[in-house]
């Protein structure tokens, strides 16, 4: 019994140590980006001994991938919880709100915003394949939602559901950069303005800009 208790205490200490390292890494990668973060800085700034750090992780790449994985897992859980409600709505509104979910997630978890952009838009070349593997489950989730929802919409005769799904999936990855460009002359200072700009742009992306006869 004593040995079992000691093992449980050790496991609890290990869990707390790993969580401390993870939170420190999230803070540093969010603030500085992948290129500027060093293992030494993480240890120094967060009171982590190098011995404990290297006991669990071999280097910066391990930590960055851990942060990316943690971010995508939390995002997937957030999307799954909210997609169930979107499925009950009109298809066009569901698609529009689906695109807003990611930004809502970052609104609740600000440190993950820069980690996401580092992983997706400024991917370290040598980590590309591993990050793609980590992204796999959430990409599949997004693809399934888009495919189901698009199936409820009357598309133009020359469009296939599969191609529209691919188009919207591709647009989703660059949408918020487009929002920044779209309102480049107007400083977006609050969430309401951001969502308003996103809604306007979304309507143009989905419905087009050419008047249909």
Query: Over the stretch 52-95, which tens digit does the pLDDT of each residue have?
Result: 999 999 999 999 999 999 999 999 999 999 988 888 888 888 88
pLDDT for 210 beyond 90: no
Cβ neighbours of 69 (radius 10 Å): 16
pLDDT for 159 beyond 90: no
pLDDT in tens, 103-146: 889 889 999 999 998 898 889 999 999 999 999 999 899 888 98
Provide, rounded to the nearest whole percent, the portion of the chain with pLDDT above 90.
Answer: 41
Q: Which residues contact 104 (CB under 8 A, 6 or more apart)?
A: 82
In Å, how far are 29, 49, 57, 70 from 54, measured between CA atoms? Answer: 18, 9, 5, 19
Which range, of 19-23, 85-89, 107-111, 189-193, averages the lowest pLDDT? 189-193
Instruction: Give residue 122's pLDDT.
Output: 86
Residue 31's pLDDT band (boundaries 50, 70, 90)?
Answer: very high
Which range, of 102-106, 191-195, 199-203, averages the lowest pLDDT? 191-195
Which range, of 146-150, 151-155, 206-210, averages the lowest pLDDT? 206-210
What mean pLDDT value characterizes the chain? 86
DSSP conformational letter for 146:
H
Cβ neighbours of 135 (radius 10 Å): 17
- Give the separation between CA 81 and CA 102, rounded to whole angstroms: 12
Task: Identify which of 174, 200, 188 has the alpha carbon closest to the alpha carbon of residue 96.
Answer: 200
Residue 205's pLDDT band (boundaries 50, 70, 90)?
Answer: confident
Provide, rounded to the nearest whole percent, the portion of the chain with pLDDT above 70.
Answer: 91
């Amino acid at each position: 019994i004593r040995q079992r208790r000691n093992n449980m205490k050790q496991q609890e200490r290990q869990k707390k140590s790993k969580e401390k390292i993870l939170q420190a890494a999230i803070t540093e990668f969010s603030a500085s980006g992948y290129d500027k973060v060093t293992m030494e800085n993480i240890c120094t700034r967060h009171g982590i001994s190098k011995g404990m750090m290297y006991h669990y992780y071999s280097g910066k790449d391990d930590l960055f991938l851990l942060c990316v994985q943690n971010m995508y897992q939390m995002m997937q859980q957030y999307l799954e919880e909210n997609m169930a409600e979107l499925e009950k709505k009109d298809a066009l509104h569901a698609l529009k709100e689906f695109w807003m979910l990611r930004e809502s997630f970052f609104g609740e978890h600000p440190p993950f915003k820069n980690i996401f952009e580092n992983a997706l838009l400024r991917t370290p070349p040598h980590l590309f394949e591993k990050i793609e593997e980590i992204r796999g489950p959430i990409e599949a989730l997004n693809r399934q939602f888009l495919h189901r929802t698009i199936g409820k919409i009357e598309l133009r005769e020359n469009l296939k559901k599969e191609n529209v799904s691919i188009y919207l999936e591709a647009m989703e990855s660059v949408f918020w950069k487009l929002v920044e460009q779209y309102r480049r002359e107007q400083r977006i200072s609050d969430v309401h303005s951001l969502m308003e700009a996103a809604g306007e742009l979304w309507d143009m992306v989905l419905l087009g800009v050419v008047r249909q006869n």
